[in-house]
Structure 1
Amino acid sequence: MDGIIVRRVIPSDNSCLFNAVGYVMDHDKNKAPELRQVIAATVASDPVKYSEAFLGKPNEEYFSWIQDSEKWGVVLTWLLLFYSEGAIELSILADYYGREIAAYDIQTTRCDLYGQEKKYSERVMLIYDGLHYDALAMSPFEGAPEEFDQTIFAVRKDRTIGPAEGLAHNFVKEQQRKRSYTDTANFTLRCGVCQIGVIGQKEAVEHAQATGHANFQEYR
């Protein structure tokens, strides 16, 4: 399919990662409840692999937490900075669907590829702005309806997805040029519990570890 790479916006409702995955996998932006349960069941099934050290919280606590529709967004970003935001969840979902998930970070233009060690034959793509995930798709032309989107791409023998991969990289670079991201090292947050202001992820993590508070909102 020839065309252009487009960013399909996912609602900012604390479930953007799950619904972005749902869109690229199933053309469904309302998969969050189902996919939260998939992740919870996977984690609960292997408490040795998914230990407190791995998850950043006890297995049982994570099991309940990940199924709560209010938990994600900024809360996840600051609580789980011990690994790349969403890395555990994306790894699980790549295995669940049997497809690679490429997650592009706008600020760094880095692409984190989940499931690549399994050498799956297909790949989907997401884009991350520092706080929020959207879906990437190939559209036949600018303004084409979403039903014409191609979101699943065959992985070639060289482990690329052909021209679509270069188009995706160029799209992400253009988003970076436009500064379409949140600088998590320097932006300002306010603790939703005690209303103390902090600057950047380092101060937020320190505050969360010292107080146990995990509800932060961005403010300017």
Structure 2
Amino acid sequence: MEGIIVRRVIPSDNSCLFNAIGYVMDHDKTKASELREVIAATVASDPQKYSEAFLGKPNADYCAWILDSEKWGGAIELSILADFYGREIGAYDIQTTRCDVYGQDRKYSERVMLIYDGLHYDALAMSPFEGAPEEFDQTIFAVQRDRSIGPVERLALDFVKGQQRKRSYTDTSNFTLRCGVCQIGVIGQKEAVEHAQATGHVNFQEYR
């Protein structure tokens, strides 16, 4: 197996998770609206599994929310998309270098990989050489008997550790944000969430 792990940048338009999945699954960075519909349909079809306790909001409210192109995806959406595609999704967190694998309990035979910087998801791919065009990317990897993806897993982890050394992430517990609506400053994700819940304001900009 020859090649290097590369980070394929996905536009920052609040749909990065969905477009990153589109890229690693289908080599298509424009699948967000389609995948949002997949998630909404999945959630609507099983209100017992996808209860208010699980989703954090009533089932119908969640379905309307996830269809909004301004809303971000996370763990719930990754687990649904792993099942939709029938592949594991490994999501690497740059700050901790941890990899959460969605769909692992299903024993799927293939895995794709994403990288997360605290605010944004990009795609990870295997490229034959530095600077090779994206059409040469390999994004789907066979899961081995030991549930790893073989040597690719070590390469991916080394790449993520390199990104961590460069501090290519946002520390969401300590970063400073300003509310775009009322201009109040908050520190960290927790304060931002509390402010959003209290005011309904969800338009935050990072500032240093």
Note whether the superposition's TM-score is higher than 0.5.
Answer: yes
State how 1:71-220 maps to structure 2 within 5 Å. 71-72=71-72, 86-220=74-208
Matching residue's letter, 1:4: I
Distance across 2 between alignment mates of 1:202 and 1:68: 23
TM-score with structure 1 setting the length: 0.92
- Look up the equivalent residue of 1:148 and give its one-letter code: F
Query: Match for 1:29: what amino acid?
Result: K
Work out whether 1:32 is the aligned partner of 2:20. Answer: no
Q: Which has the higher contact order (CA 8 A, sep 6+)?
A: 1
1:63 aligns with 2:51: no
User: Take 1:128 and 1:49, find their aligned partners in 2: how far apart are those partners?
Assistant: 27
Deviations 1:93-132 (A, max 9, x none): 0000000000000000000000000000000000000000
Counting aligned pairs with the same residue, the percent is: 87
Aligned residues: 208
Alpha-carbon separation, structure 2, partners of 1:174 and 1:112: 18
2:45 maps to 45
Aligned residue in 2 for 1:81: none
Shift in Å at residue 210 of structure 1?
Answer: 2.4
Kindly report structure 1 stretches of 4+ aligned residues shifted beyond 6 Å: none
Corresponding residue SS for 1:172: helix
Looking at structure 2, the residues matched to 206 and 62 of structure 1 have their Cα atoms a distance apart, in angstroms, of 19
State the match for 1:18 in structure 2. Answer: 18
Q: Distance in 1 between matches of 2:180 and 2:121?
A: 22
1:162, distance to aligned residue in structure 2 (A): 0.7
Cα deviation for residue 215 of structure 1 reads 2.5
Normalising to structure 2: TM-score of the pair?
0.97
Using the TM superposition, give the Cα deviation of residue 159 of structure 1 relative to its aligned residue in structure 2, in angstroms: 0.6
**How large is the Cα RMSD of the aligned pairs?**
1.1
